[in-house]
Structure 1
């Protein structure tokens, strides 16, 4: 049974007499492009008026989960139009800027000045059981001069719920991650890890890392404000796109490596790299900026090897299963290798996972030989190695390949093997991985990647102020808006006190010397006090963009000539499903 539409859009074009009216539905995980170009690969709804750019704006929906706990998210994004895209009479994008999507609310009006308007209606309204509590709403009133948090969920995890918020100073939409301490066992260790994530993020400022804006805590909740990634996560992208071309996979891995190289230089290991933690900052399109998120399992390595068991099973390095052996920064490289395999497989599970056994280099090589269709694959299968895999079922070498009908380049295979090395000392480092031929060759591809990196850097705003790098307690005399208070350069953060017994050694928030040697912008984690009552001509998408739809689109065309028609034009009044 097909899913129902998530929204409807009706439009009026007043450039003709009488006006042309029409509309269309937006379906789950669909993108609808609006512009003047009649090429169906570029636009699905076409207007011939000269005020409309060839590729003007797009509407796209993102399904947050399949269980129906959250209303689908629908965004509008300008495509570097010449005339600009207006949302409720405010410009949300215009060339030359690469602007992120803007989350739409029921009743919003999009317009192309001066003739064409679109009205957005959210058809799918779900009452979430994850609404803010009465206490949280009262606490958030203390922040109204800085952030307005709406009772609209964007997603949730095991430990937190993410809500839509608006930065009052800039008007930008941001995400508010709320940890409800009353709904989880009271533990100094849990609270410490939450604070540590905010504290570590406050030291990071990079185009490929989710930017933190501010953090506040009360006795009952912790609120962390970050940039809103308007393209969903990589896991959702794989679910809508399937297996990606190798060029796009290389670009994803290169951006991820840029982030990992940056944090490794600061002595920080992420320890949970996976598609769900890589976000599309601009749109559900890998051509644009990707950001690494969720640093809840991160740790600094200035004390030596790490020992706690964290991360996601499929992406964990072998040494993570042995607490006595310990692990280091190289666990992130292993995760990137597993990420490569998943990207080649698309949304499908890796073939023959029952045979995945990474307890020795020999077993790793045999598994990779099969799924990568590498030399020696048939020998490994025909030999019937009884010590291979973890069951006795035979392996079909044809169905076990990642891409049976498509070759994977030799450079890609070599890169994956360099990441998935049992001995962590022999694994590629992030810096070595960035110079691997698969990432930076040939020169034509490297030039393309470097151009995209420049474009992405232009769409990213580094922090302009330096903020206090410690957990600050607010009292009745403290201004809750002191997130703008500057900190003198060179001031060293006071580390959080050590937990006794229950806290892992590597969970310390003590910052490595790399952070202090090369200080970057950082911010306060504030404490809320109840006593404190303050109230184009580059009008095209990126070259890595996917061309067309999986099925031929139905184009709505509203055309007018320079002279107004003397007869009644065809009026598209029915709502149609695009892409069928």
Structure 2
């Protein structure tokens, strides 16, 4: 066996927090001195406000940045003004210069943006040319003008009217991902943009260029509801691209978590892995094979070691050709099952391909490395995968339990007919852990209530009882 492995970990460098601190210090002066917006008065004698701070308030109180008096408003309107009527905030995201601007209504009698009432305690995104009114829609006082270009203008109208585009979150074979904010409520989402491929391949229209095929997939994907599957808000199909709006997971990718930690403690890996298995089991029950499972497609809710985990990008496998899906983030088919490689992505295969990928993912979580070696001069990466040429070096696995290693072996069995099934994975001794089930139940109960799995896909004791009715592992 070859004990050389590709290591996912990065060299020790300065702490990430200190990097961000240094970046923010460098940017602070620039942020303070730059005029990022203007409040242009509609009614005199309101005066123009050049906006350079991150927070501005308007109201009757003398402490407000814009103190409204009888000089600005007639007594009947002044009497219904609150001491602090509204607050405008510029908030930086993703540790970059990217920022969003939102108005928060703090009034008793209402603040209106473009004649729509915001409502006390509510927030709305502000964009250039938005009109701000006080107490009644007719009492217009300011137009907000942004001095920074907005990327929202490049969106199709149905998205442009609902979302403001913020920072870039990442990119991969399937497209670019950016953070977006709902203009009403300021809720954060992730938006993936998948550019379409031109022309016809093998005499057939590419799936991304077939509106009917895309919409059929959308109906299926939007109907999925499971606490460990990323919720899809909406998909908009245009001639040049497909825009997919998804729930945002602030903890980032499992791939980045492994890199930053070096490797995951077994008890922490087990919590994340169990949730991923639940998600894949649910997808298989719904007739969906992911085909592109890898740490980049497993998203985490927080930076905590014990966190909610969700599977993403499960719908793109039907919209992107199999050979493209074989490519991982770094350009290698590291997580692809042997049977896909053997047919160059053109043959038939079952949902057992996902189980193989789960084996590679668990190997990476526990060791901080992947099981195959791209630099091996004697055997290509594809041949290593097709023959199941991997090992468990003691330097990486000496502290890993035999149950975990056994599960990896059963998942990474070359013959898909002899490979453990997803249901059997859930019954494996490594996951027969009451504390694990209780921990995950708590995590899922704190998740979005809308993502409720069908009863036969739930976690905990009921789930275990359902599985016990099926044949056990031999």
Per the shorter chain, which TM-score range?
0.5 to 0.7
- Whether the 8 Å contact between 1:342 and 1:350 is mirrored in structure 2 is yes
* Equivalent in 372, 375, 390 of residue 367 of structure 1: 390
Determine which of 266, 280, 287 is the counterpart of 2:306: 287
Q: TM-score, normalised by structure 2?
A: 0.57
1:259 is matched with which residue?
A: 279
Following TM superposition, by how much is the alpha carbon of 1:307 offset from its aligned partner in structure 2, in angstroms? 7.8
1:251 shift after superposition: 1.4
Q: Does 1:210 align with 2:230?
A: yes
User: 1:163 is paired with a residue of what secondary structure?
Assistant: strand
Aligned partners of 2:189 and 2:163: how far apart in 1? 10
Q: Could you tell me which residue of structure 1 aligns to residue 290 of structure 2? A: 270
Alignment of 1:271-350 (within 5 A): 271-280=291-300, 282-299=301-318, 310-311=325-326, 312=328, 313-323=333-343, 326-346=348-368, 348=369, 350=371
CA contact (8 A) 2:152 2:160 kept: no
Give the corresponding residue for 2:417: 425
Match of 2:441 among 447, 450, 453: 453
Q: How does 1:386-401 map to 2 (within 5 A)?
A: 401=395
Give structure 1 stretches of 5+ with no counterpart. 11-59, 64-70, 75-86, 91-104, 106-126, 301-305, 374-400, 465-514, 519-580
d(CA) in 2 for partners of 1:432, 1:310: 26
Q: What aligned pairs does 1:100-499 form with structure 2 within 5 A after superposition? A: 132=151, 136-137=154-155, 139-140=156-157, 142-143=158-159, 147-168=162-183, 170-181=185-196, 184-186=197-199, 188-189=205-206, 190-192=208-210, 198-280=218-300, 282-299=301-318, 310-311=325-326, 312=328, 313-323=333-343, 326-346=348-368, 348=369, 350=371, 352=373, 354=376, 364=388, 367-368=390-391, 371-373=392-394, 401-403=395-397, 406-441=398-433, 446-462=434-450
Higher helix share: 2
Structure 1 contact 215–223 (Cα < 8 Å) conserved: yes
Q: Is the contact between residue 268 and residue 299 of structure 1 (CA under 8 Å) also seen in structure 2?
A: no
Q: Output the CA distance in 2 between the equivalents of 1:236 and 1:72.
A: 22
- How has the CA–CA distance of structure 1 residues 319 and 179 changed in structure 2, closer, same or farther, with 3 Å as cutoff? closer
Partner of 1:544: none
Aligned partners of 2:272 and 2:307 also within 8 Å: no
- The offset of 1:163, in angstroms, is 2.4
> TM-score, normalised on structure 1?
0.47
- Distance in 2, matches of 1:273 and 1:61, equals 28
Q: Secondary structure at the match of 2:276?
A: helix
Equivalent pair of 1:372/1:413 in contact (CA under 8 Å): no
Per-residue deviation at 1:417? 1.0
**2:448, 2:272 → 1: CA distance?**
17
Deviation of 1:432 after TM superposition, in Å, equals: 0.7
CA distance in 1, matches of 2:386, 2:243: 47
Cα distance in 2, alignment partners of residues 333 and 290 from structure 1 = 17
1:241 Cα offset (Å):
1.3
Distance 1:463 1:256, change over 3 A: closer
| Total equivalences in the alignment | 316
Q: CA RMSD in A?
A: 4.2
1:7 corresponds to: 24
Query: Cα deviation per residue 1:121-151 (whole Å; 9 max; x = unaligned)?
Result: xxxxxx99xx8485x24x33x4455x22225
